[in-house]
């Protein structure tokens, strides 16, 4: 065997793969990895079919099908006010994760520091480390996981290159508020700090709250890579199509990596989504659709021994279980999948130091009968 020196010695298999595999193995209801258990719109499938039959089966342009980039530019301007040039400032990616990796690898050099807020989606830190960057994580605490901006200020120095934001946040279901934007703006003002804003849950935000996209604030937008996804809004996580928007000088660097990482993303789905986006109800209706699911699931959980944490956005509901056991969250999640038949994600997996607040994350993008069945089982925990 030829020895290799691992580039990510501390990194194992992502928790999503582990918990979904366990759920399948033991036949548990899978509320772990975030994906719906119902199908996407038949109309969207028809549109993909049509694009294939119309002969859109060869390489898309490297940056993506132009009609899709134009639709994204229109949608962004309408919702958030920012004008992006589809030719030079928008790139279609193979999902949000590829966009995040590409943005980080495009701008992070060895010893550059990147601030992340934990619990954080698990692809940020490995990408930073692979580029030789240094992860500066700020650990947030339940139940509210609010960012203490004075702590952020203390982390900033001449090596700080980027701050990664995620709102609505996975896994905590929190959102950035107007006050966070003000604090952030004051901190980055006159500093050469980029922002990577993971906004894949932009349309899944509840109780009439506003999505504070970086695209709303010109001084933030100018320094931001904004990442979004079609998998979440269109219930098609398996299609792996998302996008990145950034000012031209950033997007130029992004595309240098993108072209050699994936070159281009599958063509027919891009045509189909461009068509589908013409009807804005396809994404504006999601707030009600998922808020109903959230409320339904929370109501069910209220009868259990789990303690509900707030959920402002995303399709995740986190719970504390201190009333039930003092097991580690990973041990408890595994035992619950095996013994009670419900799979969840232990939130310690989203802290680089494995901090365990005894919190589990459930995905509620599920059919009502799935949620009913899951609640029935959780009542016995
Ligand atoms: N975003 C999804 C989640 O948080 C899954 C992503 C993945 O499996 N890589 O569960």
For residue 248, give the CATH number of its domain: 3.40.640.10
Binned at pLDDT 50, 70 and 90, residue 37 comes out as very high
State whether 254 and 175 are in the same domain: yes
Task: From 196, 258, 262, select the one nearest 226 (Cα to Cα).
Answer: 196
Query: What is the arithmetic mean of pLDDT over 49-73?
Result: 98
Across 146-185, b (16+ Cβ under 10 Å) vs e yields ebebeebeeebeeebbbbbbbbbbbbbbbbbbeebbebbe
Q: Is residue 1 part of a domain?
A: no
Percent over 90 (pLDDT), the chain: 100
State whether 239 and 201 are in the same domain: yes
CATH number of the domain enclosing 319: 3.90.1150.10
Q: What is the pLDDT of residues 222-281, one digit of tens each?
A: 999 999 999 999 999 999 999 999 999 999 999 999 999 999 999 999 999 999 999 999
Cβ–ligand 1 distance for 170 under 6 Å, the answer: yes
Pairing relationship of beta strands 224-229 and 242-245 according to DSSP bridges? antiparallel
- The residue out of 258, 282, 306 marking a domain boundary is 282
Residue 295: what pLDDT?
98
- Is 271 within 8 Å of 65 (Cβ atoms)? yes
Cβ–ligand 1 distance for 16 under 6 Å, the answer: yes
State whether 276 and 299 are in the same domain: no
Q: What total number of domains does the chain contain?
A: 2
State whether 155 and 83 are in the same domain: yes
> What is the 167 CA–ligand 1 centroid distance (Å)?
15
The residue ranges of DSSP E strands in 132-236, in sequence order, are 134-139, 160-166, 194-198, 224-229
Residue nearest to atom 3 of ligand 1 (CA): 34
State whether 128 and 29 are in the same domain: no
Binned at pLDDT 50, 70 and 90, residue 142 comes out as very high
Residue 231: what pLDDT?
96
Atom of ligand 1 nearest to the CA of 122: 9
State whether 149 and 102 are in the same domain: yes
Q: How does the average pLDDT of the chain come out, rounded?
A: 98
Query: What is the arithmetic mean of pLDDT over 125-131?
Result: 97
Cβ–ligand 1 distance for 34 under 6 Å, the answer: yes
> What is the 34 CA–ligand 1 centroid distance (Å)?
5
> What is the 14 CA–ligand 1 centroid distance (Å)?
9
Residue 283: what pLDDT?
96
- Give me the sign of the Cα torsion angle 361, 146, 234, 245: negative
State whether 175 and 246 are in the same domain: yes
State whether 167 and 198 are in the same domain: yes
Q: pTM higher than 0.95 for the full model?
A: yes
> What is the 157 CA–ligand 1 centroid distance (Å)?
32
Angle between helices 286-302 and 368-378 (to 10 degrees): 20
Residue 188: what pLDDT?
98
Residue 180: what pLDDT?
98
Q: Long-range CB contacts (< 8 A, 24+ apart) of 327-332?
A: 328/356, 329/356, 329/357, 329/358, 329/359, 329/360, 330/356, 332/358, 332/360
Q: Ligand 1, from 21, 170, 315: best to mutate by most atoms within 8 Å of Cβ?
A: 170
Q: What is the pLDDT of residues 66-79, one digit of tens each?
A: 999 999 999 999 99
Binned at pLDDT 50, 70 and 90, residue 174 comes out as very high
State whether 50 and 97 are in the same domain: yes
Residue nearest to atom 7 of ligand 1 (CA): 16
State whether 27 and 47 are in the same domain: no
- The residue out of 282, 317, 345 marking a domain boundary is 282
> What is the 32 CA–ligand 1 centroid distance (Å)?
9
d(CA 334, CA 342) in angstroms, rounded, equals 9
Q: Is residue 10 part of a domain?
A: no
Binned at pLDDT 50, 70 and 90, residue 329 comes out as very high
**φ, ψ (nearest 5 deg) of residue 169:** -95, 135
* Token pair 């365990």: residue: 356
Residue nearest to atom 1 of ligand 1 (CA): 34
Q: Ligand 1, from 30, 237, 360: best to mutate by most atoms within 8 Å of Cβ?
A: 237
State whether 200 and 63 are in the same domain: yes
Domain that holds residue 49: 42-282
Q: Is residue 200 part of a domain?
A: yes
> What is the 88 CA–ligand 1 centroid distance (Å)?
29
Q: Is residue 221 part of a domain?
A: yes
State whether 331 and 214 are in the same domain: no
Pairing relationship of beta strands 316-320 and 359-363 according to DSSP bridges? antiparallel
- The residue out of 266, 282, 298 marking a domain boundary is 282
């Amino acid at each position: 065997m030829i020895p290799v020196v691992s580039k990510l010695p501390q990194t194992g298999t992502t928790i999503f793969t582990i918990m979904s595999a366990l759920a399948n193995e033991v036949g548990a209801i899978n509320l772990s990895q975030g994906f719906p258990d119902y199908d996407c719109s038949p109309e969207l499938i028809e549109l993909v079919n049509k694009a294939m039959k119309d002969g859109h089966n060869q390489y898309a342009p490297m940056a993506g099908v132009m009609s899709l980039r134009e639709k994204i530019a229109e949608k962004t301007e309408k919702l958030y006010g920012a004008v992006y040039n589809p030719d030079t400032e928008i790139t279609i990616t193979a999902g949000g994760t590829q966009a995040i990796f590409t943005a980080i690898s495009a701008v992070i050099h060895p010893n550059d520091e990147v601030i992340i807020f934990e619990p954080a989606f698990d692809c940020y830190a490995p990408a930073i480390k692979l580029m030789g960057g240094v992860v500066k994580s700020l650990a947030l605490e339940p139940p509210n996981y609010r960012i203490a901006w004075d702590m952020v200020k203390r982390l900033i120095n001449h090596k700080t290159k980027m701050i990664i934001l995620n709102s609505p946040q996975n896994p905590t279901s929190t959102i950035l508020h107007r006050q966070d934007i003000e604090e952030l703006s004051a901190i980055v003002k006159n500093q050469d700090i980029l922002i990577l804003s993971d906004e894949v849950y932009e349309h899944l935000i509840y109780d009439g709250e506003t999505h504070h996209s970086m695209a709303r604030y010109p001084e933030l937008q100018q320094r931001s890579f904004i990442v979004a996804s079609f998998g979440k809004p269109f219930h098609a996580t398996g299609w792996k199509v998302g996008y990145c928007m950034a000012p031209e000088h950033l997007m130029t660097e992004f595309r240098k990596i993108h072209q050699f990482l994936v070159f281009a993303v599958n063509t027919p789905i891009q045509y189909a989504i461009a068509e589908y986006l013409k009807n804005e109800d396809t994404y504006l209706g999601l707030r009600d659709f998922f808020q109903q699911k959230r409320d339904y699931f929370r109501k069910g959980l209220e009868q259990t021994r789990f303690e509900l944490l707030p959920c402002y956005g995303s399709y995740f509901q986190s719970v504390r279980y201190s009333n039930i056991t003092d097991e580690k969250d990973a041990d408890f999640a595994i035992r619950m999948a095996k013994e009670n038949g419900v799979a969840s994600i232990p939130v310690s997996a989203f802290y680089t130091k494995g901090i365990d607040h005894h919190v589990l994350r459930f995905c509620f993008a599920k059919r009502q009968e799935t949620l009913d069945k899951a609640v029935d089982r959780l009542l016995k925990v």
